[in-house]
Amino acid sequence: MSTADFAAATKTEPTGIAGLWRKTFDNLKSGNLGVLPIVLGLIFIVVFFSFKATNFFTATNFVNIIIQMAGTAMLAYGVVFVLLLGEIDLSISYVAGIGALTVAELQLPGSGHQISGLLAMLCAVIVCAAIGLGQGSIVAYVGVPSFVVTLAGYLVWQGVILQRLEQPGSIIIQDRWINYTASYFFSHTAGWLIAALVTGLYLLSVVATWVSHARAKIANKNLGLTIAKLLGVAAASFGVVAICNHSYVQGNPLGLPLAGVIVVVFLIVLTFLAKRTTFGRHVYAVGGNAEAARRAGISVPRIRIIVFMISAAMAACGGIILAANVNSVDLNFGGGTLLLNSIAAAVIGGVSLFGGRGEVRGAFLGALVIATVSNGLNTAGYATGTIYIVTGLILLLAVTLDTIARRLQVRSGR
């Protein structure tokens, strides 16, 4: 068999609708469920609450859900990278608190160290990344399990927040830049432009992939599927803007919330980091087989430390949005369900706790599910207890499905 024959033999990517079905079926059979179950689940949840609560299926509530999911989603993005390594970061909720405390402190009028909100946010991210550097170094170089290091971090950073806020009880955030992260809404026109921009960028990336594959004489993915995805992205971005542009609060029109745009921008950037860069590839490799990665010349400690820095930096970003949402940081910041919801979001989104498997978009979808359920139950008049119970059951269901799927995968392989 010549090289050309071989290349041709490897190019049996199925084509047409029949091929698409076959590929989907093969994927399902081999346990590669992708985002299908979670999207179906989300649709079910939305339909269910639309009938259950009259105020649920409204444009304004849609905007609420986006803002409610934003903080959790940012933390969950960081969790994805940590879980990909097969590690855990329990400190993120209070590291988020440190991030929020840092911006609150730095924007405090009359404190003598007041700086612009934008600069304050940058400082908060740097401070938290430094925390990640410290925690990651202990995990990577000393070899203390990440569970223990970050559990210690959980306590320490909670303690720092309590110490600082013991006297005032809370710090009000007045800086408009910081508060914008949760309460700025784009004008209707700006919203449409952003939707067009997202669609255009996606189209550009699809075309670029297509051209580079053609140049390297590599079979492209199913054309129908690619076009369907492109239409899906276009429909989603314009659809979201259309709904947001119909939202009102007390008679004033809202629009696309900045928080939503931040979440999507990070989704795109972090997905690129995970899937298209050498660093991202090495994260998956270390999570899959750390010994193999080490033998292949990858600096495993370096990867671990950077991942813990990403986790802490994302926690800072999430913390800022969460604080902006209530215009303050108080004693309880970072407590409650923030930590577990963030980890649950990533896990519901299909990220494996054992490393090497999962995607950033999983955290996005997981956070969306958690926010939608919590919002829906709230709107329908259920108490907090019910919300916890339902969220817990969804988590269990998602992981059970994933585990069963993976067992099938092991059986179909080897």
- Of the listed pieces 120-128, 140-148, 274-282, 364-372, which binds another protein according to CB under 8 A? 274-282
- Structural tokens at position 189: 């026109």
- Radius of gyration, CA atoms only, the chain: 22
| Site mask for another protein (CB under 8 A), range 21-50, x = bound | ---------x--------------------
Pick the closest to residue 313 from 101, 157, 129, 70 (CA basis). Answer: 129
| Site mask for another protein (CB under 8 A), range 204-243, x = bound | --------xx-xxxx-------------------------
Q: What is the Cα–Cα distance from 69 to 264, expressed in whole angstroms?
A: 12
The yes or no reply on residue 403 touching another protein (CB under 8 A) is no
Question: Which residues in 190-222 are b (16+ Cβ under 10 Å) and which e?
Answer: ebbebbeebbeebeeebeeeeeeeeeeeeebbb
From 42, 298, 326, 390, residue interacting with another protein (rule: CB under 8 A): 298
Euclidean distance between the first and the last CA atom of the chain, given in angstroms as a whole number: 25
The yes or no reply on residue 109 touching another protein (CB under 8 A) is no
- Say if CB 361 and CB 229 are below 8 A apart: no
Shortest Å distance, C-beta 3 to another protein: 4
Longest dimension (CA), the chain: 78
- Of the listed pieces 44-52, 137-145, 255-263, 404-412, which binds another protein according to CB under 8 A? 404-412
Shortest Å distance, C-beta 87 to another protein: 15
From 291, 381, 383, 385, residue interacting with another protein (rule: CB under 8 A): 291
- Of the listed pieces 52-60, 128-136, 278-286, 383-391, which binds another protein according to CB under 8 A? 278-286
- Structural tokens at position 39: 């999207």
- Say if CB 331 and CB 162 are below 8 A apart: yes
Return the ∠ at Cα 265 (arms to 344 and 146), rounded to 5°: 40
The yes or no reply on residue 318 touching another protein (CB under 8 A) is no
| Residues within the interface to another protein (CB under 8 A) | 1-3, 5-7, 9-10, 12, 30, 212-213, 215-218, 276-279, 281-282, 284-285, 287-289, 291-293, 295-298, 356-357, 409-410, 412-414
